[in-house]
Amino acid sequence: MQKVVLRISILVAAVALISVATAQALELRIGKIIVVTDGGFSPTALPKHENAPINLKGYAKFTTTDGSRPSPLRKLVLEFDKHGEVETRGLQKCTEAKLIATTTERARKQCPDAIVGTGFGTAVVELPEQRPIEASSALTLFNGPKMHGNPSVLGHAHLDYPAPTTYVVPIEIQRINNGRYGFKTVADFPKIANDYGSPIYGRLKIGRTWQYKGETLSFANAHCADGRLQARGEFAFKDGSFVSGTVFRPCQVRK
């Protein structure tokens, strides 16, 4: 299949998002694939110069114009605003070895103090000569070992259909210098049911605080330098197509 490329920059929509208090989801299309995604952070009142703790949240939904199963998601690239920071000093780390072949309950018991995010995901599995069936899993992000000197997280999910399978995805949190963006993550999605499965929904909430040497630390942190924070996402699919978009969210300087 010929590779189809679509890049979307929603500048007008971004201005609208900044001017209103309520969030609006971003809808992206490539061929027959429709991606609806949104994200945000709290609190929205932040210091102007120093970082303060925040919680991040986001979701993505994948459908098609004809109701068929979407092409399997291969890669998710996220770039985050440079007016932020990831902190891991004193935070317990989990390893892939502790998460292999574990259910969600078992994984969370293995590394409870390393959990930095939780959520939920759904895939549709369409085996040959069988009707499509949805399979869901809780999602967990664990603070992981350093990768190339950078922080990392381990994404964990467990599906029971068509056979009990655990998925562990290492994700490096890279420092970058790309204009507005200072951090980048690349998640390579594993094949679900030998590519007979496709993710159709996922949501995550990220945030954790802990005590270290008498100080309260937070995994995600940010400051409000110029009235907004933003993130960019790129979704790449098995059929060679990809789509990207930018989400802007307003912030206020904390008095």
Residue 253 in domain: no
pTM: 0.90
pLDDT exceeds 50 at position 2? no
Span 24-49, pLDDT tens digits: 789 999 999 999 999 999 999 999 99
Residue 251 falls within a domain, yes or no? no
Q: Is residue 171 part of a domain?
A: yes
Tell me whether residue 184 is in a domain. Answer: yes
Domain contains 61: yes
Query: How does pLDDT run across 72-122, given as a tens digit for each residue?
Result: 999 999 999 999 999 999 999 999 999 999 999 999 999 999 999 999 999
pLDDT at position 15: 30
Confidence of residue 66 (pLDDT cuts 50, 70, 90): very high
Q: How many domains does the chain have?
A: 1
User: In this structure, is residue 250 part of a structural domain?
Assistant: no
What domain range includes position 112?
Answer: 5-15+25-244
Predicted confidence at residue 255, as pLDDT, reads 78
The rounded distance, in Å, linking the Cα atoms of 54 and 219 is 8
Average the pLDDT over 63-77 and give the result: 98
From residue 87, alpha-carbon distances to 74, 134, 150, 176 in Å are 28, 36, 11, 16
Q: Report, as an integer, the average pLDDT of 49-57.
A: 97
Does the structure show a pLDDT above 80 at 162?
Answer: yes
Dist. CA 143–CA 153, nearest whole Å: 5
Does residue 254 belong to any structural domain of this protein?
no
Q: Is residue 20 part of a domain?
A: no
- Cβ neighbours, 10 Å, residue 81: 21
Judged against a pLDDT cut of 50, whether residue 183 lies above it is answered with yes
Average pLDDT over residues 109-138: 98
Query: Strand pairing of 5-7 and 242-250?
Result: parallel
Is the pLDDT score of 169 beyond 80?
Answer: yes
